[in-house]
Amino acid sequence: MRIELEPAYVLHARPYSDTSLLLEVFTTQHGRIGLIARGARAPKSRKRVLLQVLQPLLLSWRESGDLGTLAAVEPAASAITLTGEALFCAWYANELLLKLCSRHDAHPLLFAAYARLLLRLGDDAEAGLRAFEKVLLDELGYGIEWPTPIDPALRYHYHPAEGFRAAVPHDAPAHCYAAASLIALDQDALRSPGEYQDSRRLLRTALAVLLNGRTLDSAKLLRELRGLDAGVATLTVSSATIPP
C-alpha cells in the first residue's frame, strides 16, 4: 500500500547502507513509523536537503512490514530554526515520542500538539513543553486526573497510582503542589516561577511511570546546558546539530 502526502516530521535519522537513511518519522494519521530513504545521502539528493529534523514535511511511502520505503518528500511549510535551549527542548520532545509512542499507533491530537510546540519553543519553551507533555500523557492513557473541585487555598499531594489529595503537614514537599499551579497547568496559563516549577515537577513524576527507569539523554544535556557558567562558556547550536 502506498501512502500519499502525509503530514510528518523527522524525529531521528541515521545512515543506512552506503547512500541511504533510516528514518524515524512522526505522522498525523499513521503515528510513529520507520522509513528507509534510499539514496538520501547521495551528494546531489534532493531528499537529503529536505529530510531535516523540525522541517514540516509531506511524505509519500510504500508500506512493507515494520519498515516502509520513502517514495517522495515535499516541504509542507518553512523550516523551523531553533538554537540553544529551545533546540534541546525540541530534541527532548522528539526523544519522548521515540521512547513512548509505539509504531503505527495514530495520535492526531498529539501530532497537532507537537506542531504547536515547535512554534512555541522560540517564545516560551517551558510553557510549550508542559502543554505538550500533558497531551502526551492524555493520548497514551496516563492523563492526570485533576482534583474536583480544586480549592485555591490548599496544596495538593500527588501520587501517580493514587492521584491527588489535600496535602497534610507530614507530606514530602517534593510531592506537593499549589492549587494555583494545578489550575494554571490545566488551563495552559502558566505565569509565575512557582507555577512553572510545580508543573515541571508534577509532569516529571507522571512521565517517570511511562519511562519505567529509562533515561532521557536530552534532559541530561539540557541540565548541563543550563549549568554552564555564562561568563566562561556559551553554547549555540542549530537544528542540523541535534545529536543522534
Q: Cis (ω within 30 of 0) for the bond into 152?
A: no
Q: Which domain, by its residues, includes 122?
A: 84-241
- Confidence class for position 243, pLDDT limits 50, 70, 90: very low
Among residues 75, 6, 7, 71, which one has the least CA distance to residue 35? 71
Higher pLDDT: 242 or 175? It is 175
- CA 31 from centre of chain: 14
- Indicate whether 142 and 124 sit together in one domain: yes
The tally of domains found in the chain comes to: 2
Cell of 91: 530534541
- Indicate whether 174 and 219 sit together in one domain: yes
- Confidence class for position 226, pLDDT limits 50, 70, 90: low
Helix (H, G, I), strand (E, B) or coil at 180: helix
Cell of 167: 496535602
Helix (H, G, I), strand (E, B) or coil at 231: coil
Helix axes 84-100, 217-227, angle to 10 degrees: 160
- Indicate whether 103 and 20 sit together in one domain: no
Looking at the predicted structure, is the pLDDT value of residue 100 above 50? yes
Q: Which of 61-65, 119-123, 218-222 has the lowest mean pLDDT?
A: 218-222
- Indicate whether 107 and 178 sit together in one domain: yes
pTM of the model: 0.88
Looking at the predicted structure, is the pLDDT value of residue 55 above 60? yes
Mean pLDDT (the chain) is 89
